[in-house]
Amino acid sequence: MSCWVCGFVAPGGAIISTERWIVDHCVGPLGVGTLIVRPHRHVERVGDLDAAESLELGPLLQRAAAVVDEVVRPSQVYVSLWSHQGREPGHIHFVVQPVTEALLARYDLHGPALQKAMFDAHERQSDDEMAAFAEHARAVW
């Protein structure tokens, strides 16, 4: 199975790229301002991260969430691990999602149920919206 995450390039490009990790905008229905934090190398399990990747991960997730907080001003920022391609383990990536009061009111759901409802709705933000957010996030980062 080929790995879509390894070759992924989001509209607007990387917000930040370190030696081990890349942060860019999430493509899909989770809304403008949702970021993906993923290792450069193909890793399918958090337990398979090397020591250097592990040391960098916590501060990187914290900074990504802080940038989303500053730019979007949501009521909460969800950080969740995603890793399956179909039913098979795939390249791990952490989703950093702003959850606004408007989003909570629209779906009347929260947590994984909210994310599932957003996937079921199949609403995708435009490439221009993602690129504009990436540019703003880079400036804040």
Domains of the chain: 16-140 (3.30.428.10)
**Alpha-carbon distances of 110 from 15, 64, 80, 103, rounded to whole Å:** 27, 21, 13, 9
What pTM does this model have? 0.91
pLDDT at 1 over 70: no
pLDDT confidence of residue 4: 74
Tokens (6 digits) for 68: 């989303």
Contacts of 120 (CB under 8 A, 6+ apart): none
Contact 51, 70 (CB under 8 A): no
Residue-wise pLDDT for 2-12, tens only, equals 777 777 888 99
CA distance 15 to 85: 24
10 Å CB burial of residue 108 (0-12, 13-18, 19+) is exposed
Residue-wise pLDDT for 69-123, tens only, equals 999 999 999 999 988 777 888 889 999 999 999 999 999 999 999 999 999 999 8
